[in-house]
Structure 1
Amino acid sequence: MYLPLPANFQKSYIDRDSYPRNLIRRTVSTYPSALTAYATRLDFATPNLFETDIKRLEVPIRDLKTDDGNGEDLDKLNIQSPDELTKWFGVKVVHDPNDPQNPVVAVQRKDPKCRFVYIYGANSRARLGITRSMLLELFTFHQVMPDYLDFISVFGLQSEARDLRFSSFREQKNLKLQHGSSGIDSLGRSGKHYQLCYNLKGVTFKFEDPKDHSKNQWSIRQAAFYHQLDVVGGNALWIVTKGGLDIQQRFKELTGNGARPEDKAFGTPDECFRSSLSAHLLFCHWSTEDWRGYIKWLEYTIEKDTEMAVLGPTGKGHHHHIYTARDIQHLQRWAEKVREVTSVLKANVDVMTSLRRFYTDLRDNEEFPMRGSCSDDIGVFASQLGNLIDDFRLQIDRADALVRITTDRMELVKQHRLERLNMNMENEAIIVRIITIVTLIYLPATFVSTFFSTDIVKYQGQGQEKGSFSNVAMVRWVQVTLPLTVLTIVFAYIWKSLAERRSQREVLPMDAEDLHRPLWMSDKWKWRPRARKASSSVESKV
């Protein structure tokens, strides 16, 4: 038997391809231009976001306490086509023979007490296993707030993880009926509900290298969560988007046969509300896992790459690591990874803080009918979230310390490279000085020989086997060359000493008295003011 639906809901469902412009309830944040902007961003993301191959479609749905608690305890199905999704909702569109232009939308059964919809891809960088038409039908049927489109747009086909730093928490409360609005009795909806969406990020160990642990691979992955709860009937909706099936498996464990009774109880609105708090904690716990192991691995890798910069001997004759520009690049990459960890952890803390504030504010809201009966549950929930937040903050402090260590090690590596460059420059300076000294010694002899323009040993002719030796020429050459060589060396030494003394005077700090003291070539040659005569001093006193 099919039940009729309100006219405004029928119109919204028929126009589902225009989502989010077809939403019934409007708020300040969903004015027409804002909805158009959401639709434009969805059009831009569609080619890489949704699956186009009909054979690869799969949307797992789990309904607990179907037909508003009057049906089966559990009904589940992996939706693999748009027709299956429509059939699962129990929706039927019929055409009135008298008015074929206005089709009638009817529904076969009410919403379940808890519906869990899992939208996923093969991995975090693959298209989601759902078509655009199926997503719009799902969001229209449950009147999902358009903000969730921003959260799922970070998924889809991509070569590198994009928009990893995006984090947000959005909420919308409709705890009292607006003027002229009402619930949908045929679906078991009172019209009084709240909805929220947020995303969290976790880290996953991907690959282990047994020979070199520094080559292990980790991946930061995010998940987007949407939740809606009817505060009168207790009907809850969950839509989770992620790459992989791990969170779906966790939700199965939360509401399966071996779960705690309070986590899978949906008999009354209070029990539905308590089970929703357990689901929130489940998702938050997922985001806290493996961060300690990831930070520990970063500490190990950075320590391995930089330990020789701190502990390695640097003296002559010792073997030590020679750091290159490639090592600085590696350290910069590790520093960016650690900063990324800090950014992600802080984002998780902000989201959890917003989630805790939402429920504590809900407890104080007079329009919330369960504020009295579930006040203690909200307090316990807030306390457990506080523990997770405190754990995250400790990990943030650890990551901040690692950032400082990495930055200091990078500066130390740069200093090692600079010291090595200085040593090379010193060696080159020594070689240049040796060449200068040798040139300085041979310069007078070369000059004298050129000046005299005569040979010590002179061959009188090309055909003679014996040459002639000039004793006088040799004596004259020695008499001129040796004194010139000595004078050149002495002059060079004096000039070098004066230059060194001048440089020391420029480098050393000067007292106030030194500022008025003239600079002389020697401390013995100091200018001293001439003492005035006693008579002049007496006259000056008079």
Structure 2
Amino acid sequence: MKYHSVAHCSEAFNLHQLFPAYKIRSNITLYCFFFWLVFQATISPIHNMASSVADECCVTSLKEPVQILSLAAAPSSQQSSSDFKLFSDNTSLDKYLSGSAAQNYSCRFISICQRNSWRPLQVTSSMLSLIIDKHGFSSNIRDLTSCYYTKNNDLEDSFCAPFTLSTDGPWTEVLYTIRYPEFKESENEWSIRQTGVCHRINTQARQSIVLLLGPKPNSKSHATFYDFLTTASNHYTGNTWFALHDALLKAHLPAWRSFNKACEAEFLPISNATFAIYIDEPLRVGYDQLSALSSLEARFLKITSLVSSTTELINELVDFLHTFPDVVNDQRRQHSIVNSLKNHRRSCASYLQSATFLKERVQAASQLLANTLSFRDQVIANEQNGNMLQLNKSAVFITTLTLIYAPASFVATFFGMNFFAMDQPNSRIVCTVMIWIYIVATFTLTIVTVIFYYWLLRHDGVLFGRLAPKVPVKDWTGFVRRLTKLDNSAQTKA
């Protein structure tokens, strides 16, 4: 059925009965009401999805406070007075941000952290919304906070939120995330960390708002920003604190060289052992080392991806300074920041080249080790084939002898079992009536043998699997390689 008017629609949907609380008296009112319903049905899922994204990156109760450092420029001086506060609830935060004293600042640094890299931000949804609303952050901030949520594996471990630029009158906002390696001394291992930065700059009032999302409490990023902001030599009139981005890169980029070095130190012993072996001798490397090489290859691949993302970020920062020269009102300081960023870009190129070279070396070593293991298996298989050939020759010789002597042996055995006797007077052989015992015993034993043979064919793994040949290597590792089938209980360590 087709409806050609709003009146027909009202008859079809019977809106007057479905919504008696609404007084729909005309076709125009009905038309507007119908589209209001469509609008609500469209907007509600989008609003719910945005709320779920916001809730996913937040916690319900704080274990680490939100830290706010406000710098207020003192009159007739380049020095700044600082006000550092910690907030653990929405009420105190709202009271502070709404107060008149909190509005007089030249730079405000807001630091929010995670408990660890796999946990959401230590901020409630209401506190985050309050921070966003009071400081005028754009909707792009949700793209930044969406990178922080609860997970139980290395999900999105190579994703970096791209450099995002937005302008609103005198305000200019940039945001991004950066990933970098960090050595955990307590566990003696490396970990990939993530830091998010959102920087709002008012080029007219020379005012800055910096939001830092750190990977852990009192992270290196937080310490870098705090020390830079509280250092008196960095304070000058009209400072927009764009040099914070340079300080962040300077704090974390050198770790890539140490991370490459640690991975290379793990790779070289395996590589040296792979190149210094003979396939006709027992191997000191095996499939465990092949798994380790695969893990290293994935690690170097991640390095190339993350360093490339950092290089792209540096390019965007340099282009931003060229596009918005009024962000840094001192030309000498601007050139200094640009030159420092270019040096960081050159360092990234060096780290990327080193990681690419090591990745190719790992790939070559993995292929060589796989070929070596395959050739070694072929050598052992050839040795086993030679042994089997000798056994087959022996079996053929024994079978031939059996065919020659078995009939005579059977006849001699059969007539030597006292089932027959010689009747001398009548010159004939007499057979005993008890010969049926021999026939029944022979028939029964034959049936049992055939049944056992078929059982072995169906359950060959029970007996023959335990008889699989092994080749031990006489070294301290006691490494044993199976030549038939893999042991399902073995676990490879990445």
Tell me which interval the TM-score lies in, with the shorter structure as reference length: 0.5 to 0.7
Q: Is 2:353 aligned against 1:345? A: no
Match of 1:332 in 2: 294
Q: 1:154 aligns with which of 138, 141, 147?
A: 147
Q: Is 2:348 aligned against 1:392? A: yes
Residue 174 of structure 2 aligns to a residue whose secondary structure is: strand
1:368-419 alpha-carbon deviations (Å, 9 max, x no partner): 5x68x53443332221101001101111111111111111111121112111
Distance 1:240 1:374 in 2: 25
- Asked which structure has the greater CA Rg, the reply is 1
Q: 1:59 to 1:445 in 2, by over 3 A?
A: closer
2:67–2:111 contact (8 Å) kept in structure 1: yes
Q: 1:423 to 1:52 in 2, by over 3 A?
A: same
1:116–1:238 contact (8 Å) kept in structure 2: yes
Q: 2:359 aligns with which of 390, 395, 403?
A: 403
Q: Give, as a single letter, the amino acid of the residue that structure 2 aligns with 1:355.
A: L
Q: Is 2:191 aligned against 1:195? A: no
Q: 1:444 to 1:165 in 2, by over 3 A?
A: closer
Alignment of 1:422-461 (within 5 A): 422-441=378-397
1:208: Cα distance to partner?
A: 6.4
Q: Give, as a single letter, the amino acid of the residue that structure 1 aligns with 2:201.
A: L
Distance 1:403 1:192 in 2: 47
Residue 84 of structure 2 aligns to a residue whose secondary structure is: strand
Residue 437 of structure 1 aligns to a residue whose secondary structure is: helix
Distance 1:332 1:145 in 2: 42
Match of 1:129 in 2: 122
1:308–1:320 contact (8 Å) kept in structure 2: no
Distance 1:156 1:57 in 2: 16
Residue 228 of structure 1 aligns to a residue whose secondary structure is: strand
Distance 1:463 1:405 in 2: 77
Alignment of 1:85-104 (within 5 A): 85-91=93-99
1:92-136 alpha-carbon deviations (Å, 9 max, x no partner): xxxxxxxxxxxxxxx666341100000112222233221111111
Q: 1:414 to 1:192 in 2, by over 3 A?
A: same
Aligned-residue identity in percent? 14
Aligned-CA RMSD value = 3.4
Q: 1:40 to 1:201 in 2, by over 3 A?
A: farther
Q: 1:42 to 1:301 in 2, by over 3 A?
A: farther
Q: 1:449 to 1:153 in 2, by over 3 A?
A: same
Alignment of 1:201-240 (within 5 A): 201-207=179-185, 216-240=188-212
2:273–2:285 contact (8 Å) kept in structure 1: no
2:73–2:106 contact (8 Å) kept in structure 1: yes
Residue 272 of structure 1 aligns to a residue whose secondary structure is: coil
Residue 258 of structure 2 aligns to a residue whose secondary structure is: helix
Match of 2:86 in 1: 78
Q: Give, as a single letter, the amino acid of the residue that structure 2 aligns with 1:223.
A: T
1:66–1:75 contact (8 Å) kept in structure 2: no
Q: Give, as a single letter, the amino acid of the residue that structure 1 aligns with 2:251.
A: W
TM-score, scaled to structure 1: 0.62
Q: Give, as a single letter, the amino acid of the residue that structure 1 aligns with 2:145.
A: I
Distance 1:201 1:400 in 2: 18
Q: 2:166 aligns with which of 172, 177, 188?
A: 172
Distance 2:116 2:388 in 1: 63
Residue 206 of structure 2 aligns to a residue whose secondary structure is: coil
Q: Give, as a single letter, the amino acid of the residue that structure 1 aligns with 2:150.
A: L
1:60–1:78 contact (8 Å) kept in structure 2: yes
Distance 2:42 2:158 in 1: 23
1:86: Cα distance to partner?
A: 1.6
Distance 2:42 2:210 in 1: 24
Q: Give, as a single letter, the amino acid of the residue that structure 2 aligns with 1:255.
A: L
Match of 1:323 in 2: 286
Match of 1:312 in 2: 277
1:445: Cα distance to partner?
A: 5.8
Residue 242 of structure 2 aligns to a residue whose secondary structure is: helix
Distance 2:414 2:232 in 1: 121
Q: Is 2:62 aligned against 1:65? A: no
Q: 1:463 to 1:201 in 2, by over 3 A?
A: closer
- Number of aligned residue pairs: give it: 375
Q: Give, as a single letter, the amino acid of the residue that structure 2 aligns with 1:74.
A: S
1:69–1:113 contact (8 Å) kept in structure 2: no
1:470-521 alpha-carbon deviations (Å, 9 max, x no partner): xxxxxxxxxxxxxxxxxxxxxxxxxxxxxxxxxxxxxxxxxxxxxxxxxxxx
1:180-223 alpha-carbon deviations (Å, 9 max, x no partner): xxxxxxxxxxx4121110111121111467xxxxxx41111010
Match of 2:490 in 1: none
Distance 1:39 1:75 in 2: 36
Q: Is 2:79 aligned against 1:112? A: no
1:200–1:287 contact (8 Å) kept in structure 2: no
Distance 1:34 1:358 in 2: 37
Q: Give, as a single letter, the amino acid of the residue that structure 2 aligns with 1:147.
A: N
Question: Where do 5+ consecutive residues of structure 2 fail to align?
Answer: 1-39, 419-494
1:113–1:235 contact (8 Å) kept in structure 2: yes
1:253: Cα distance to partner?
A: 1.5
1:234: Cα distance to partner?
A: 0.3
Residue 213 of structure 2 aligns to a residue whose secondary structure is: strand
Distance 2:223 2:58 in 1: 23
1:449: Cα distance to partner?
A: 6.2
Q: Give, as a single letter, the amino acid of the residue that structure 2 aligns with 1:121.
A: Q
1:447: Cα distance to partner?
A: 5.8
Match of 1:23 in 2: none
1:51–1:57 contact (8 Å) kept in structure 2: no
Q: 1:322 to 1:118 in 2, by over 3 A?
A: closer
Question: Where do 5+ consecutive residues of structure 1 fail to align?
Answer: 1-31, 92-106, 175-190, 210-215, 465-542
Q: 1:344 to 1:455 in 2, by over 3 A?
A: closer
Distance 1:420 1:164 in 2: 38
Match of 2:235 in 1: 264
Distance 1:66 1:463 in 2: 121
1:69–1:112 contact (8 Å) kept in structure 2: no
1:82: Cα distance to partner?
A: 1.2
Q: Give, as a single letter, the amino acid of the residue that structure 2 aligns with 1:150.
A: D
Residue 378 of structure 1 aligns to a residue whose secondary structure is: helix
TM-score, scaled to structure 2: 0.68
Deviates more, 1:434-443 or 1:80-89: 434-443
Q: 2:136 aligns with which of 135, 143, 152?
A: 143
Q: Give, as a single letter, the amino acid of the residue that structure 2 aligns with 1:402.
A: L
1:39: Cα distance to partner?
A: 5.2
1:64: Cα distance to partner?
A: 0.4
